[in-house]
Amino acid sequence: MKTNFIPEIPYEHLVKEICGSQWRSLPPLEISAAWGVAIVASVLDGVKPELDEISSHLGISSRLLFPAFSNLKAQGIFKDEKIFADKKELESEDLLTWGYYGGYASGATHYRRS
C-alpha cells in the first residue's frame, strides 16, 4: 500500500480545528476540504490564488492540491473575491465560515453568487 507523506503545513492548527487531528488519513473528498482550508488561508495571507504559488507556499505538491483548488476556482471563489468579503469571519476563525470553504473545496457545498 502506497501512502503519501504529508508534512506539517502552515495553518496546521486551523486545518485540525476544522477537519480533525487525523485529517491526513481522511478519504479524498474530505481531504479536499482540508486542503481548501489551507488554500483559502494562504490567499487570505496574500498568496496569489494560483496553484503553483499556493503549492510553493504550503510546501505541498500541486498534484495533491489540484482537486480542492479546482473546485474553489470553478465556483468563482477567487474571482468574486469572496474570501475578502468574509475576511472578518475567517480571521476570527469562525468555524461555520471555514466549514463552508471546506465544503466548496470538496465540492459538497456550492457557492451561490449574489
N-term to C-term CA, the chain: 45
Total domains in the fold of the chain: 1
Task: Read off the C-alpha cell for 95.
Answer: 468555524
Residue range of the domain that includes 45: 26-106
Q: What is residue 113's predicted lDDT score, i.e. its pLDDT?
A: 59
Instruction: Note if the pTM is more than 0.85.
Output: yes
> How do residues 48-73 score in pLDDT, each as one tens digit?
999 999 999 999 999 999 999 999 99
Q: What is residue 8's predicted lDDT score, i.e. its pLDDT?
A: 85
Q: What is residue 4's predicted lDDT score, i.e. its pLDDT?
A: 61
**Which portions of the chain are predicted below pLDDT 50?**
1-3
Q: What is residue 108's predicted lDDT score, i.e. its pLDDT?
A: 87
The verdict on residue 5 lying in a domain is no
The verdict on residue 8 lying in a domain is no
The verdict on residue 18 lying in a domain is no
